[in-house]
Structure 1
Amino acid sequence: MTDATLATPRSGAPAQEYPTLAEATRVWARVALLSFGGPAGQIAVMHRILVEEKRWLGDGRFLHALNFCMLLPGPEAQQLAVYIGWLLHRTWGGVIAGVLFVLPGVIAIMALSWVYVIFGNVGFIAALFFGLKAAVLAIVLQAVFRVGRRALKNDAMRLIAALSFVAIFAFGAPFPLIVLAAALIGFLGARAGLQAFAPGGGHGSVGGTHVDDAETLLGPKMAEMPASARRGALVAGGVALALWLAPVVVLVLALGPGNVFADIATFFSKMAVVTFGGAYAVLAYVAQEAVGTYGWLEPGEMLDGLGMAETTPGPLIMVLQFVGFLGAFREAGWDNALLAGTFGGLLATWVTFAPCFAFIFLGAPYMEGLRSNRSLSAALTAVTASVVGVILNLAIWFAIHVVWIEVRRIEAGPLSLELPVLGSIDWAAAALSALALFAVFRLKLGMTIVLGGSALLGLMLYGLGMTSLSG
């Protein structure tokens, strides 16, 4: 790859020398350590460092890559790092960027998982997470509004979002089925020439700048990709596929279905191919299965895990490592439960992120064709609309389990939903949640401040004997 493939700096800026792999590695490590705040924050960090500060690529190229990643299942911010790393230094660049992007989160979540199972019943630890849950509720509700403003551009998209919410909240429809149905509606709508599914209703904002505005900042177009680069990407993608699927096959054949490690490998592999819309969208389905079907953890523990992921660098989907850790910790039957939990957590992480490398390496050489496919773009737009409904379900699920102590399930034919026992309201949790919502929506405070403040308030309320933990 030559310097000609890079976007030129803005007018008046000094020419930039092409970065070495060592320099890029240091920059990716810095990006990883600063990647807080969910995908929007992580993408903004990459844009600031790679585009504005380093000027390694232009706005147009950056958004072009982001659109490609939005077409794929999995955490788009991590995939964007892999793609840009590959764009700069081919296979090794993509591998280094992708691994470094998740490494701080892997280490942090694993350490917190150990602390959680060893000290989780200690009052101050429980109080810390008690406060975090209120902040997480506010952040998830904020995600509903942010994604909704961007995705629900017309009545058709709003209808898809509403139907998706009803399907998962009231009827317990599986998330993959909702995604597939929405994608099919979008695809068929575009093929039928319906205006609601025409281009322009999709994604694209970085730091508040819409894709359409940023397109005017495009640098030189990408040079023709040599055949050797395409072959190298396809080989790397094949290797990533093998590294993802081989351990799954071995575990299932060696341990059999029903073993916790085989279940973790297959369940999270399935998540890797249906996680359109990011972590928030898939967490409702993960909670539904991990809590209800497998019994790996309790609803409140799912919230604790999301609180960990929110407060550590890396993709929010890292919460799956915590889920895998608790599942193996409790179900493996090993004498050393911490060792079993560590293996379960790392296994969940492996089968979650290995597919991301495969998707990027296999698809990146053809991203121009993917981006110009209107039917595929319409399918993604419809999926994004359905994700709004799924995230709303997640927000309500969180609210029910944070603000009320008792929950009952109603079953009536196909109807299956959880409702709170109104008299069991936890007033301290309700007050904390209200404060967090005020801080996020009215004061517009940053996520770190909201999370830290909620955690401290949780500790204070516990110290004063004013929480349900105290009694």
Structure 2
Amino acid sequence: MTVPPDHELPPSAPPFGEAVRVWAKIGLLSFGGPAGQIALMHKELVEDRRWIGEQRFLHALNYCMLLPGPEAQQLATYIGWLLHRTAGGLVAGLLFVLPGALVMLGLSALYAVYRHVPLVEAAFFGIKAAVLAVVVQAVLRIGRRALGNRLMVVIAAAAFVGIYLLHLPFPLIIALAGLAGWIGQRYAPGLFAPAGAGAKGGIADRPGAVDAMFERGELAHADPSGRRALRVIATCLPLWLGPVLLLWAITGSSSVWTQLGAFFSAMAVVTFGGAYAVLAYVAQAAVDGFGWMQPGEMLDGLGLAETTPGPLIMVVQFVGFLAAFRNPGGLDPLLAGGLGAALTTWVTFAPCFFWIFLGAPFVESLRGNRALAASLSAITAAVVGVILNLALWFALHVVFRQVESVDILGLRPDLPVPGSIDWAAAALAAAALVATLWLRAGMFTTLAGCALAGIGLRLLAG
């Protein structure tokens, strides 16, 4: 009998304590948005430690992309759950979020207190330009991956028209795209083939510890079970929605606490496509719907979120902090802001664990389902159009001081007032785009450079 070389043998499952240390390391180093975070996990878990094989990693990632919520955090939860059941999933998911949440809380408090200090204002003036460049880069990066043929381009264009001109709800756009992919796969499967989601490490698909556990029959928790699903529902739904219902009963339906809990709970159900895809939806609700913040402040929050580890969707914590800080009731504003941030973070991320613990056993059994893969391809294409709308929304509010809704053939798109252009902001935005797209400057370099440029412009203006 031929014995395979040691480097081809799957490693043993890691001890729980070792897994905790690795998940903490990933949480602390998870900068750079979902692409960087997924690449980091791939290196740590597939290449370096072989806790999970390449194909299982990509399978988990593909189905996490089908779920609402931040795919990188859910991928960590999924793999932690595969390795160490529910406790492993909780540890992996929490440690992925916790460092960024703590940093974002501190930055939100500093922003709320010192926002109107002139030099701080000037720094954020520059940061807005850098954030615009980052979002444009995201449109191009995701577009190159998702728009593999003309049909995908048409879907992206239709999504942009739907959200920008027709003001269709984001969840409806995602649902229509998914339906188009599901139907289209039956008649033109080649046009809806996945464009290659995920970060591929370029290594042979060696078996990992999870594969060995499967072969030894140690993945019983990954088998679909109706009884287990009911237990997850009975546990997770009250933990997720119980605080929202309690706040509604105590403070009433019009309080900022109930509004935050209800809105971000609903958002957690429709946040397909990652943070960039839903930021315009969140920004429009926070600015125009609830009046919690100004358009430029959403850009400030995104700039802060770009500098912290963890999911970019952590920007919602910034929104929750400002909303409660400005509507504290009888509480101290900073205390209210902290509670608002905690509530927003809870209702945003608690559902992520629910989706994984409830759905992972079933999606494990759906490997190779072509209809779901086609739906994912169409949804990813639609997300490109939605992110393009976000880039346009940010550009209008960065470069122009005034934006108004104009009636054109019964449609009411937001258009800039030409005389309100801010030439300094336009110049900084152009410089940030050149640095990001042509000079390949890193995110931190671009953010820091634009912040310093904003301060320099303020000092020159006297």
TM-score, length-scaled by structure 1: 0.90
Say whether 1:297 aligns with 2:293.
yes
| Contact persistence 1:161–1:387 (CA under 8 A) | yes
Which of residues 73, 84, 89 is equivalent to 1:89? Answer: 84
| Contact persistence 2:222–2:364 (CA under 8 A) | no
Q: Quickly say closer, same or farther: Cα 1:89–1:382, change in 2 above 3 A.
A: same
- Where does structure 1 lack aligned partners over 5 or more consecutive residues? 1-8
Q: Give 2:189's aligned residue.
A: 195
| Contact persistence 1:202–1:380 (CA under 8 A) | no
Say whether 1:442 aligns with 2:438.
yes
CA distance in 2, matches of 1:275, 1:185: 19
CA distance in 1, matches of 2:155, 2:149: 10
Structure 1, residues 386-433: CA drift from partner, whole Å, max 9, x if none?
110000010011111111122222145751221112222222211211
Q: How does 1:180-259 map to 2 (within 5 A)?
A: 180-190=175-185, 192-195=186-189, 197-198=191-192, 200-206=193-199, 217-219=205-207, 221=211, 222-223=214-215, 224=217, 226-227=219-220, 230=223, 234=229, 235-236=231-232, 238-259=234-255
| Contact persistence 2:267–2:348 (CA under 8 A) | yes
In structure 1, give the amino acid aligned to 2:344: A
Range moving further from structure 2, 276-285 or 175-184: 175-184
Which of residues 357, 362, 366 is equivalent to 1:366? Answer: 362
Identity %: 55
Range moving further from structure 2, 294-303 or 253-262: 253-262
Q: Give 1:329's aligned residue.
A: 325
CA distance in 2, matches of 1:10, 1:368: 29
Q: Give 2:53's aligned residue.
A: 58
In structure 2, give the amino acid aligned to 1:247: P
Deviation for aligned residue 1:130:
1.4
In structure 2, give the amino acid aligned to 1:204: A
CA distance in 1, matches of 2:220, 2:49: 28
Deviation for aligned residue 1:201:
2.7
Provide the secondary structure at the position in 2 that maps to 1:408: strand
Q: How does 1:75-224 map to 2 (within 5 A)?
A: 75-190=70-185, 192-195=186-189, 197-198=191-192, 200-206=193-199, 217-219=205-207, 221=211, 222-223=214-215, 224=217
Q: Give 2:338's aligned residue.
A: 342
Q: Quickly say closer, same or farther: Cα 1:12–1:123, change in 2 above 3 A.
A: same
Provide the secondary structure at the position in 2 that maps to 1:205: coil
Structure 1, residues 310-356: CA drift from partner, whole Å, max 9, x if none?
01111000000111111122234234122111111111110100000
Q: Quickly say closer, same or farther: Cα 1:80–1:186, change in 2 above 3 A.
A: same
| Contact persistence 1:67–1:203 (CA under 8 A) | no
| Contact persistence 1:309–1:316 (CA under 8 A) | yes
Deviation for aligned residue 1:46:
1.0
In structure 2, give the amino acid aligned to 1:130: F
Range moving further from structure 2, 38-47 or 445-454: 445-454
Deviation for aligned residue 1:12:
4.1
Deviation for aligned residue 1:237:
5.8
Deviation for aligned residue 1:357:
0.2
Provide the secondary structure at the position in 2 that maps to 1:419: strand
Q: Quickly say closer, same or farther: Cα 1:258–1:129, change in 2 above 3 A.
A: same
Q: How does 1:275-314 map to 2 (within 5 A)?
A: 275-314=271-310
CA distance in 2, matches of 1:65, 1:352: 21
| Contact persistence 1:261–1:328 (CA under 8 A) | yes
| Contact persistence 2:252–2:258 (CA under 8 A) | yes
Q: Quickly say closer, same or farther: Cα 1:334–1:443, change in 2 above 3 A.
A: same
Range moving further from structure 2, 444-453 or 104-113: 444-453
Provide the secondary structure at the position in 1 that maps to 2:168: coil
Say whether 1:73 aligns with 2:73.
no
Structure 1, residues 172-218: CA drift from partner, whole Å, max 9, x if none?
2221121112112222222x4223554x23441316x5xxx77x525
CA distance in 2, matches of 1:257, 1:166: 34
In structure 1, give the amino acid aligned to 2:426: A
Deviation for aligned residue 1:255:
2.9
| Contact persistence 1:237–1:360 (CA under 8 A) | no
Deviation for aligned residue 1:15:
7.2
CA distance in 2, matches of 1:99, 1:310: 19
CA distance in 1, matches of 2:409, 2:242: 41
Range moving further from structure 2, 68-77 or 165-174: 165-174
Structure 1, residues 354-382: CA drift from partner, whole Å, max 9, x if none?
00001011111122333432222222211
Deviation for aligned residue 1:152:
1.2
| Contact persistence 2:152–2:381 (CA under 8 A) | yes
CA distance in 2, matches of 1:380, 1:296: 33
TM-score, length-scaled by structure 2: 0.92
Q: Give 1:272's aligned residue.
A: 268
In structure 1, give the amino acid aligned to 2:133: A
CA distance in 2, matches of 1:424, 1:371: 53
| Contact persistence 2:194–2:373 (CA under 8 A) | no
Q: Quickly say closer, same or farther: Cα 1:417–1:267, change in 2 above 3 A.
A: same
Q: Quickly say closer, same or farther: Cα 1:168–1:17, change in 2 above 3 A.
A: same
- Where does structure 2 lack aligned partners over 5 or more consecutive residues? none
Number of equivalences? 451
| Contact persistence 2:85–2:221 (CA under 8 A) | no
Range moving further from structure 2, 156-165 or 251-260: 251-260
In structure 1, give the amino acid aligned to 2:205: L
| Contact persistence 2:61–2:198 (CA under 8 A) | no
Computed over aligned residues only, the root mean square deviation of the Cα atoms, in angstroms, reads 2.2
Q: Quickly say closer, same or farther: Cα 1:10–1:298, change in 2 above 3 A.
A: farther
| Contact persistence 1:130–1:455 (CA under 8 A) | yes
CA distance in 1, matches of 2:253, 2:98: 30
Which of residues 4, 17, 40 is equivalent to 1:45? Answer: 40
| Contact persistence 1:256–1:262 (CA under 8 A) | yes
| Contact persistence 1:136–1:451 (CA under 8 A) | yes
Deviation for aligned residue 1:16:
4.4
| Contact persistence 1:61–1:219 (CA under 8 A) | no
